[in-house]
């Protein structure tokens, strides 16, 4: 039997094996979202899921969804700079809140 492993390391291993994404990457995207996209975008668009370098975001209006699609290259670059997270693609869905 090997040495004890810290629980965070064990969880990272489990998450990476299941999703290809570790806790630090997920925390970077969700924790630094407003820093990466700006407060204005963050007020209307939120990250929902990061799965194997594919980020799913929800926009509260179709106009914001279109804006995110248009700016996806810039958002991917900003997430790499601000949160040190590699994203290959951003998928957008519209979820209206009432």
Q: Are strands 54-59 and 89-94 parallel, antiparallel or unpaired?
A: parallel
Backbone torsion region of residue 72, taken as left when φ is above 0, otherwise alpha when ψ lies between -120 and 50, otherwise beta? alpha
Alpha helices by DSSP H, 1-98: 7-19, 23-31, 33-37, 39-42, 62-83
* Spatial separation of the C-alpha atoms in residues 52 and 86, rounded to whole Å: 10
Instruction: Say if domain 25-94 classifies as CATH 3.30.565.10.
Output: no
Q: What is the pTM of this model?
A: 0.72
pLDDT confidence tier of residue 69, bands split at 50, 70 and 90: very high
| 22 close to 53: Cβ distance less than 8 angstroms | no
Q: Could you state, in order of their start, the residue ranges of all structural domains in the chain? A: 25-94
Q: What percent of the chain has pLDDT over 90?
A: 52
Sheet holding 89-94, edge to edge: 45-51, 54-59, 89-94
Query: Two tokens at 3?
Result: 């040495």
For residue range 70-86, what is the model confidence (pLDDT) as tens digits? 999 999 999 999 988 88
Q: What is the CA radius of gyration of the chain?
A: 15
What local confidence, expressed as pLDDT, does residue 20 receive? 47
For residue range 24-66, what is the model confidence (pLDDT) as tens digits? 556 568 888 999 999 999 999 999 988 888 999 999 999 999 9
């Amino acid at each position: 039997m090997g040495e004890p492993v810290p629980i965070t390391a064990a969880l990272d291993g489990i998450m990476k094996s299941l999703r290809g994404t570790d806790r630090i990457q997920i925390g970077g995207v969700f924790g630094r979202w407003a820093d990466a996209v700006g407060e204005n975008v963050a007020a209307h668009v939120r990250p929902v899921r990061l799965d194997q370098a594919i980020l799913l975001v929800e926009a509260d209006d179709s106009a914001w969804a279109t804006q995110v699609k248009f700016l996806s290259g810039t958002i991917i670059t900003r997430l790499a700079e601000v949160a040190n997270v590699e994203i290959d693609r951003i998928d957008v869905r519209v979820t209206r809140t009432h």
